[in-house]
Every structure is written in C-alpha cells, then in structure tokens.
Structure 1
C-alpha cells in the first residue's frame, strides 16, 4: 500500500490536556527504525527490507543499496542510527537479520547516504553464531557521548542458555568504535574464548536503548517471556541474569527459574508483570513538554500504549500510561529536533505519528 500523507492541521487529534497527536503518514509496512536528518527529512526502515526517505513535505523516496537480508518473523531491516558527525561524513548505521550458514543473525552495517542511494556499504558487525528460527534479533543501535556504538541483540529464543556464555553474541550488548573495531577497554577483551565486543550479557531480547542525558550511561529494556519485562541500567561486564533469573514464566505457564535475584547478577530497575512487550526508548529533553523533562518513555507493543516513567536519580518511582486511546502497537520513539516526539506503530498499515503540546483553546 502506498504511503498516504495526511493533512496535519485537519487531523490533529487532541487526546488529553497535555498533548495532541499529528498523523504524518500511514501505509508503512511494519516500520522499525527512524532517524531525523539535519535537513529535517526522516528516514524510516520497514522490516520487510525497504528504507524510505520522507521529505519535509512527507513525500517518500525509496533508498537503494541495502545488502541482502532475511525477512521472516521478527527479522528483516531493523534499527537506524546516524553517526554523531553525520552532517560531515554522511554515515548511516542500520541493523538487519543477515542470512548465512546455520540460519540468520543480527548484523550491523554502515553506508554513506547520498540522496536516494547508499554508497560504500560496510558490514561492521556480524553476530556469531547464526541460528535457525525467526525470533529475538534485539537490534537497537545507540551512540554514547564519547562516540562508542552500542548494539543490542537477542538470544534467538531457542538458544536462551547462550545468553550466559561469553563465547557468542546471543543475548548481549556489544560496544564498538564507529568503524566496527573493538575498544581496548571493553570488559572481556582479555578473557579467553570471550567475544571481545561484549559489554554486558544475560539478556533476553533488547528492543529499547537510550543514553541517560546526565550520567551518559546506557539504559535498556528487554522483553520478558510471559511477564518479566525489564528496565536495566547497564554496567560494563555485568550479568543481567537471563535465563537463571526472571520475573516471567514460560508462555505455557511453566516455570523458567525460581530465582528473581541471584548474587553477582544485576537486578532490574523496573519490571512489568504481566508483560507490555516494550519497544523503543527515549529520555525526553525537549522544550515542548517541560513537565516531562528527563522522563523515560517506553513504547508498548502488546500493551498498546506509551509509558512514561518518572525518575529520581537512577531510580524509577512512577509510571503513567499515555495514548491508550489510539490502541496501537508502538515500536519506536524518537525525539524531534523541535521538541516533539515521533512514534512508529508496528502494523502492516503502520503509521508515523508526532506527539505535540495540546492547542490552547
């Protein structure tokens, strides 16, 4: 279905006293990643393997030059990130499910964006091993304030025990230089048989990641199974427990582990039981919503809402549900340069929405 651009002034929908929602586009097929270019244009990835450039007027152009990927289940073209110096070097980073021996796995590439074409494509990370199945690719990309690139992965669902081992990339957070080389101070770089890219381990399926605006530390959230979604503050070399520690159960209702805490493993900052299926993560720092400054926003797929978490330093002290009126699966959150919040909805007829302050009467 072609993208249908909507008349913003006519279709702005006031849903609460604090905000209104502008529909920018629909007809997006399971959109996943979103970045705003210096020009104000937007790039949107569709999981099926299409990368779109939306002009400031909303006109779409398909970007060519993507590598071969596997479009199946939760896999496909996934997250997007701009190099911190994108305005000068044009490097766009993207994650995707890469086919190969043994099945598929999360990979990350970078390419220089020129108009509607990707040039000088370089694959800078390949998950080992590749496995069968089409679930739990993780796949958020985040640059920190020092220019390091963090990559989140999943444990590929049927390989959960691999999350506790350091000889693979499944169920991990990786930390790289912008060219894909490994930083010399990564925590396991001198550990025999460990993958040197690993920053933390014991994760299930991370689809939300953001840098805290004051501490500069990476925060993430990950999907639990039947319950047990988590928000975590990430520490170098730390073990986050999966599957030895969990607040969730098997989808059948069976027990995964009796442990919700084990010594030597990090406890989550926040847990959802039942699961909301979190995806997308944003520390709000804009001017449109001063009352939301430094709140942590999380999209919910199964929960079909936007969650605002209030913070007290490194602690989460409260939760507010927003946008339940829309009844949509929220995949991705990005703060707009003007202080609004962009949202992507995960549907075959997915939407690009923008959250703005309510219009004064």
Structure 2
C-alpha cells in the first residue's frame, strides 16, 4: 500500500469513528415536554397506570398524570432539611406495590445538630392523595451541619434488599474511610430497615453492619443491571474525577485517598494517587466533571440500538450521556440533547419504552422518543 493510499484509508477510518462517536450513525432522538411547573424535581417513579410519582427537593411529592397534569402535594411527607443540596430525594415503589401500596423515599432529615440522610416507608393512599403509616427505617449515625453531599438514591436488588447511597457531607470527607461512620457509604438494608444476614460486615466488630461498600463521595445515580442484577452507581468528583462504579461487597472505592479529582481552589491532587491495589477502580471517569445525576439501563423497544446501554444525566452541561457497554467495560460514550435543557437530575425508562428526564433547572418532565 502506498503512503498516499494509507493516508486516505486512515482519514476514512477517522471520519467514520468521529461520526459514530458523535451520534451521526445512532438513532436520532426527539424530546417532548410532558409537564412543566415543578419546583426543583429530583426523582420520579412510575405507578402501575403510567402516572408518575415525582419528588420536589423543597419537600413535596406529587402525582403527574401521563398527559402532564400535576397533582396537588401529597399529604404526610415528613419535614425535610431543605437547605443547600438537602431536601426530598429519591422515591421508589415497593417490589410488591400492587399489593402493599408502599413507597420508599430518601430525604435530608433535620436534627438538632444539622441533618442526616434518612429513608422512610409509607402507604400511598392515592384516592386520598396522602401517605399513611409513615415509618423511618434508616438514618445515618451522624448529623453534621451544612447542606452538601447527601447522596439519597435508592435501588431495590433482585432479592428484595434495598441499596441506599449516602454522601460524605462535603467537609467531612475523611469519614468516607472510617468503618464506624455511615458518611460516604453505600448501605444495604431489608425493607423493614433491618440488616441482611449476608451483608459483608454483618458480623463485624469494626464496620457498621449496614455497610455494603465505602470510600464514596456523593453518589446521586444508582441502577440495577438488568442482566447481572448487580448495583451500578456514579458519583461526583470534586474537580474532575466523576466516576461510574460497580460497588463491591465489603470493598473500598477510594475517596478521598484514591481519586482522579483535584482540590477546587488550588487544583492540587487529592490523596495518594489514582490507583491502589486494595481499592476498586471505577469503570468510567469524567475529566472534566459532568456533574452526573440520575441513572438508568435501557431495555426498551423504542431504541433497539440502545438496548443494554447505560444513561446518565448531567447537571453541569445539561446533556444526556449514553454509555455503550461490553460486559463491565464502557466502550463508547455519546452526549445527547445538547441545548435542550440546563440540568438533568433524573433519568428513568418509562413503561412505554421512552426515556424520561427530570429537568431540574426548568422544572419539567421530558420524554425522549425516536425522531422522524
């Protein structure tokens, strides 16, 4: 092959790779506005009839109909610490919701000392538009002041246990490595708040028994892999170093000792470096940060080419990030919907196979469907 021919072949390959990575060969999505007028929407869960149970961070929960009608605030929601990043966070339906009508929700619980991430369960009486039998089932064991890094995502595992993500409250980052603290951890509990007997530290005299994994910063995305049943999460880095992780039972995920992030003001490196033998490495790192929030695996029929892909919202750039996977590896990234919204807080797959996004900055619910 001549030098000129090699150059032309290389150019064609490079252009082809660029087209695929920027989405020119992917399904072109269209965005529809389902509802508008929400106040800092944070999470949504689909009810059996296709309506959406939506949380607003200031402390309200509402039902939004499939055609976008926003219901009145649901009565019975506990008081929340609605300061800074605090407030009402994730909502998840019981795996047996059709029978028990139970919902689970995470929130920043106000205390005398400050606030802590807590989880409650309640029966949703839809006709009366209220929560009854509200019961706190979990709370962090520390309640520092301030309004940063609460975590607050929920994910039910196939065995019915519940994963809860817990932030390290920003100024208390060293707590993420402390075995007796629930700051900067992911915990696994039973639906009644008790500790599963097979938790990695269930019999430990050092670690809190609820802990599933530790060394996390601020996990605001959590989803169960549809094929393996394993938990996937993502978390915010400080300045660079956002991560996608597969949290391992009983393992250290590094923060703040091992991280790709840097200090905000000085730009100096944090901790000891980016890798260590005893620390689980992330499967994806973003430098610069995209400020990820919300997370969903796609299994629907509307976008056949996207089946098995992982979708992540961005609070910084307002884009929807599509991650193509090969097993546990991210092999391609595509950024979608640039300019459509400002801050994507949550990502969910709807019962119709569309992707639903919470536009936190615009107070909207968006529906992503195939274009023409």
Question: Considering the TM-score relative to the shorter chain, is it more than 0.5?
Answer: yes
DSSP 3-state at the match of 1:140? strand
After TM superposition, the structure 1 stretch with the greater mean CA deviation from structure 2, 66-75 or 184-193, is 184-193
Q: CA RMSD in A?
A: 1.1
Of the three residues 56, 66, 78, the one matched with 2:66 is 56
DSSP 3-state at the match of 1:324? coil
The alignment status of 1:177 with 2:190, answered yes or no, reads yes
Measure how far apart 1:101 and its partner are.
Answer: 3.0
Of the three residues 192, 216, 228, the one matched with 2:241 is 228
Residues 159-178 of structure 1 mapped to structure 2, 5 A cutoff: 159-178=172-191
Q: Deviations over 1:321-353 (max 9, x none)?
A: 001131421110110001001100112x41100
Structure 2 match to 1:13? none
Structure 2 match to 1:31? 41
Of the three residues 35, 41, 54, the one matched with 1:44 is 54
DSSP 3-state at the match of 1:88? helix
Whole-Å separation in 2 of the counterparts to 1:94 and 1:131:
21
DSSP 3-state at the match of 1:235? coil
Whole-Å separation in 2 of the counterparts to 1:17 and 1:278:
23
Structure 2 match to 1:356? 369
Verify the 8 A CA contact 1:24 1:58 in the aligned structure 2: yes
Structure 1 match to 2:303? 289
Task: Specify every segment of 5 or more residues in structure 1 that has no aligned partner in the other structure, as ranges.
Answer: 1-15
The alignment status of 1:18 with 2:37, answered yes or no, reads no
Measure how far apart 1:195 and its partner are.
Answer: 1.4
Verify the 8 A CA contact 1:80 1:93 in the aligned structure 2: yes
Q: Give 1 or 2: higher strand fraction.
A: 1
**After the TM superposition, which segments of 4 or more aligned residues of structure 1 sit over 6 Å from their partners?**
none
Measure how far apart 1:179 and its partner are.
Answer: 1.1
The alignment status of 1:255 with 2:265, answered yes or no, reads no
Verify the 8 A CA contact 2:35 2:69 in the aligned structure 1: no
Measure how far apart 1:55 and its partner are.
Answer: 2.3
DSSP 3-state at the match of 1:72? coil
TM-score (norm: length of structure 2): 0.90
Verify the 8 A CA contact 1:79 1:94 in the aligned structure 2: yes
Verify the 8 A CA contact 1:281 1:333 in the aligned structure 2: yes
Measure how far apart 1:144 and its partner are.
Answer: 1.1
The alignment status of 1:272 with 2:286, answered yes or no, reads yes
Structure 2 match to 1:129? 142
Q: Deviations over 1:124-180 (max 9, x none)?
A: 111110111100000100001111100001000000000001101100001011111
Structure 1 match to 2:124? 113
TM-score (norm: length of structure 1): 0.93
Structure 1 match to 2:6? none
Whole-Å separation in 2 of the counterparts to 1:153 and 1:23:
31
Verify the 8 A CA contact 1:106 1:137 in the aligned structure 2: yes
Of the three residues 307, 320, 323, the one matched with 2:334 is 320
Task: Specify every segment of 5 or more residues in structure 2 that has no aligned partner in the other structure, as ranges.
Answer: 1-25
Whole-Å separation in 1 of the counterparts to 2:312 and 2:178:
29
Q: Which has the larger radius of gyration?
A: 2
After TM superposition, the structure 1 stretch with the greater mean CA deviation from structure 2, 349-358 or 275-284, is 349-358
Measure how far apart 1:258 and its partner are.
Answer: 4.1
Measure how far apart 1:198 and its partner are.
Answer: 0.4
Verify the 8 A CA contact 2:58 2:80 in the aligned structure 1: no
Of the three residues 245, 250, 263, the one matched with 2:258 is 245
Whole-Å separation in 1 of the counterparts to 2:240 and 2:228:
29
DSSP 3-state at the match of 1:133? coil
How many residue pairs get aligned? The number is 343
